[in-house]
């Protein structure tokens, strides 16, 4: 029997989560099952992205809130970049963190979820600045740049919301940091999925040369219960005017 795409994706996730735990490269919070996994060498992976022109030129960085990308969020703030941070499951929409309003000694704290709520500001969709660069978390990535999140679909929704608002476009670079063990042979794609442009691991930096996949916006028929999110209702209100 051929598995459907969602089942195929879940098998890949479970294999990667198990592998990271068995190889003992998973870091707190553990166990990593059901998460964007934090991993040994996440800081080295983040460092590999800092010399990229797309990173150097970015003034506004949108990031996921997960642990392994905290290093990139910290680098962004220390380099004077504005950080647009999605809240977990988009329950509180987006936060904007301005480095000028955060004491240097508090920047690391500000990159955590709790710290971002304290030092950042929850904003309406109309207050989000145009985004120059996207940082995303992944459970697995293949060498064509196709990615797997943890299965909730929120990363794709965050991207789609910003596309609907014309705050980013198909040329906006997307970066991720993962452990080398998270590279897989193939990730199946669904219509709402997007690909990444750069993959940094503790051992190497990979520039994806394959075809970019960039959904133009929200697939409303696929939203399900997410249509009830406050941020989605706000978006619908904006688009209806």
Q: How many residues does the chain have?
A: 241
Q: Where in the sequence is the domain holding 204, given as residue range(s)?
A: 5-239
What CATH number is given to the structural domain containing 109? 3.40.50.10420
User: What is residue 234's predicted lDDT score, i.e. its pLDDT?
Assistant: 98
Q: How far apart are CA 155 and CA 117, in angstroms?
A: 19
Q: How many domains does the chain have?
A: 1
Question: Tokens in use for 215?
Answer: 């959904």
User: What is residue 2's predicted lDDT score, i.e. its pLDDT?
Assistant: 58
- Residue-wise pLDDT tens digits, 179-231: 999 999 999 999 999 999 999 999 999 999 988 999 999 999 999 999 999 99
- Alpha-carbon torsion 123, 127, 133, 138, what sign? positive
Kindly give the interhelix angle for 154-164 and 230-239, rounded to the nearest 10 degrees. Answer: 20
- Residue-wise pLDDT tens digits, 148-159: 999 999 999 999
Bridge-partner residues for 82, per DSSP?
60
User: What is residue 210's predicted lDDT score, i.e. its pLDDT?
Assistant: 83
User: What is residue 1's predicted lDDT score, i.e. its pLDDT?
Assistant: 44
* Positions of the chain with pLDDT under 70: 1-2
Strand, helix or coil for residue 228: helix
Residue indicated by tokens 């879940």: 10
Phi, psi angle pair for 96, to nearest 5°: -120, 125
DSSP codes, 136-167? E--SEE-TT-BEE-SSS-HHHHHHHHHHHTTS
Burial class (CB in 10 A: 0-12, 13-18, 19+), 187: buried
């Amino acid at each position: 029997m051929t598995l459907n795409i969602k089942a195929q994706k879940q098998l890949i996730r479970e294999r990667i989560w198990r592998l990271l735990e068995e190889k003992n490269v998973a870091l707190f919070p553990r166990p990593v099952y059901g998460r964007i996994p934090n991993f040994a060498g996440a800081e080295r992976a983040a460092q590999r992205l800092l010399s990229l022109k797309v990173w150097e030129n970015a003034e506004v960085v949108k990031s996921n809130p997960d642990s392994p990308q905290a290093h990139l969020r910290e680098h962004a703030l220390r380099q004077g970049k504005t950080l647009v941070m999605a809240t977990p499951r988009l329950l509180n929409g987006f936060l904007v963190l301005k480095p000028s309003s955060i004491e240097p000694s508090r920047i690391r704290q500000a990159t955590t979820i709790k710290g971002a709520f304290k030092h950042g500001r929850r904003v309406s969709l109309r207050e989000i600045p145009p985004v120059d660069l996207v940082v995303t978390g992944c459970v697995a990535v293949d060498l064509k740049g196709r990615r797997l999140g943890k299965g909730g679909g929120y990363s794709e929704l965050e991207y789609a919301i910003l596309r609907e608002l014309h705050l980013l476009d198909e040329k906006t670079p997307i970066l991720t940091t993962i452990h080398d063990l998270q590279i897989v042979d193939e990730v199946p794609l669904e219509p709402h999925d997007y690909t990444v442009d750069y993959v940094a691991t503790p051992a190497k930096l990979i520039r994806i040369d394959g075809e970019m996949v960039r959904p133009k916006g929200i697939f409303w028929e696929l939203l399900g219960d997410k249509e009830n999110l406050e941020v989605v209702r706000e978006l619908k209100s904006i688009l209806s005017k």
